[in-house]
Amino acid sequence: MKEVTTTLERTVRETLTKTETITTTTTLAPGAPYTTTVTKTETVTVTTPRITEPGTVDPVADIGDIEEESVLWYLRLLQNNFDKISRSIKGGEALESAIREVFSGIGVKEHHVKIALQESKLICKDFENWSDEKSKEFCWVLKDVSMPTLIVANKMDLKTAPENFKRIQEAYPE
């Protein structure tokens, strides 16, 4: 005999929790005194983004999160193409050109790569010996020079706007 119970629960935070319990009962032989019961419970929780009211979030933190995500995107591109870049360099291609090739699909030019290498002090360093920290620093600079961030301060009619705008200007003076 197999019994399946499924429970769905929605919480206040827009989290949907699905719990499924499967109970299987097996009798070894008709009339036998032994019965085996196996119960498996699996819970899956999915949290959906919560819509917030205007003026209730920290715009400085939001900007920081977006910047960090962009840099992590660049870093994943660099790390996922490590072997390709290394092969190109070993084949005689310049480091700047090999890196540009990987990032060309998102508009990165060779002069962006050169600037990032210089500012992160990796211009004369062996690519295969870059630390994770230096790779991330390189990606920060490369993102900044190849895809500058434009902050659009909308919702200026809210009562929290003047204070938030001042905080954004202090955190991102450029």
CB 70 within 8 A of CB 143: yes
Residue 42 lies in a domain: yes
Position 159 pLDDT exceeds 90: no
Specify whether 38 is located in the same domain as 101.
no
For 62-106, write each residue's pLDDT tens digit: 888 889 999 999 999 999 999 999 999 999 999 999 999 999 999
Determine the structural domain holding residue 32 and report its residue range.
2-47
Could you give the number of structural domains in the chain? 2
- Tell me what the pLDDT averaged over the chain comes to: 81
Residue 103 lies in a domain: yes
CA gyration radius, the chain: 27
The domain that holds 66 is classified in CATH as 1.10.8.470
Residue 157, exposed/middle/buried by CB under 10 A (0-12, 13-18, 19+)?
Answer: exposed
